[in-house]
Amino acid sequence: DAGVIQSPRHEVTEMGQEVTLRCKPISGHNSLFWYRQTMMRGLELLIYFNNNVPIDDSGMPEDRFSAKMPNASFSTLKIQPSEPRDSAVYFCASTKEGARNQPQHFGDGTRLSIL
Amino acid sequence: GDSVTQMEGPVTLSEEAFLTINCTYTATGYPSLFWYVQYPGEGLQLLLKATKADDKGSNKGFEATYRKETTSFHLEKGSVQVSDSAVYFCALRDGSGYALNFGKGTSLLVTP
C-alpha cells in the first residue's frame, strides 16, 4: 500500500519566494495533519483537516502560511513570502478518524531551506 | 494542557545492551499513548501504542506499559542492535482530541 506521499523531498529557495509543499494522504483516510519539525521546538502541529475541512489552524505561525485541501487526496501548505526562520522539515500525516487509538501515518517530509 | 516529557538524549549504547527511554505525561482524562521512531531522512513511524491503563504495547522487541499511577510510558528493549539507531518520540492523544502531543524526541545511537 502506498503511504503518505510528500513532495518535494528537498526545497532550497531564497527568502521572499513563495514555497508550496504538497501531500497525498493514504487512500481512505479522512484526516490530514501538517507538522513542522525543528531542533528548537520539536514537532509542532500546524493545521488539521477532517473531511477536507480545516478544523484547527491555531498552530499556523502567521498569515504568511496557508493550507488547502481541495479534495480527499491532495493538500498543500504554502508559505508566501518565505523567511529564513521557516527553514525546517515539514511533515504531512493522515489517519482514518473514528477511533481514538488510530495512529497517524507520516510522510517522509519536505526539508525546506530558506536562504 | 496535555504534555509529554522525555529524557534528554543522545543515548549511546553498545550493541546488545538494555535500553530504557523514559516518558512521562500530563493529561486530563484517559489518553492513548504512542511511541514513534524516526530513522535518518525519514518520517515518523508508529512503533507501538497502548490505549488504556496497564496495557502493554510491543513491537520489534520494544515494549512499553501504560502506567496510570505514575503517568509514565517508558520504552524498553532487552538487547539493542545497531539498526535501532534512530530518534524515538513519545506521544499522547487525549480521549476527545485528534492531535498528537509529542515529546521532544530522544536520539539513540547503538555502536557495534
Write out pLDDT tens, residues B31-60.
999 999 999 888 899 999 998 899 999 999
Q: Which of A50, A96, A104, A108 to mutate to test the interface with B (most CBs of B within 10 A)?
A: A104
- What pLDDT score does A99 carry? 55
CA distance A15 to A93: 26
Which tens digit of pLDDT belongs to each residue from B62-103?
A: 999 999 999 999 999 999 999 999 999 999 987 667 778 899
With CB atoms and an 8 Å threshold, state whether A103 touches B46.
Answer: yes
Cβ contact B22:B72 at 8 Å: yes
- What pLDDT score does A107 carry? 94
- What pLDDT score does A101 carry? 64
- What pLDDT score does A16 carry? 96
Q: Which of B100, B101, B104, B106 to mutate to test the interface with A (most CBs of A within 10 A)?
A: B100
Compare CB distances from A103 to B34, B89, B102 and report the shortest one's residue: B34
- What pLDDT score does B14 carry? 97
Is B28 exposed, middle or buried, given 0-12, 13-18 or 19+ CB atoms closer than 10 A?
exposed
The values of phi and psi at residue B83, to 5°, are -70, -10
CA distance B91 to B67: 14
Q: Amino acid letter at B92?
A: L
- What pLDDT score does B8 carry? 81
State the nearest Cα–Cα gap between A50 and chain B, in angstroms.
Answer: 10
Asked whether the CA dihedral A7, A2, A36, A33 is positive or negative, the reply is positive
- pLDDT averaged over consecutive 10-residue blocks of chain A (115 residues)? 91 97 95 93 92 92 94 96 96 81 88 97
With CB atoms and an 8 Å threshold, state whether A91 touches B100.
Answer: no
- What pLDDT score does B98 carry? 77
Compare CB distances from A100 to B32, B45, B103 and report the shortest one's residue: B32
With CB atoms and an 8 Å threshold, state whether B43 touches A42.
Answer: no
Q: Which of A10, A37, A102 to mutate to test the interface with B (most CBs of B within 10 A)?
A: A37
Compare CB distances from A101 to B49, B104, B105 and report the shortest one's residue: B49
State the nearest Cα–Cα gap between B110 and chain A, in angstroms.
Answer: 21
Per-residue HEC secondary structure of B34-53 comes to EEEEECCCCCEEEEEEECCC
With CB atoms and an 8 Å threshold, state whether B46 touches A105.
Answer: yes
Beta strands at B86-93 and B32-38: parallel, antiparallel or unpaired: antiparallel
Compare CB distances from A107 to B36, B43, B93 and report the shortest one's residue: B43
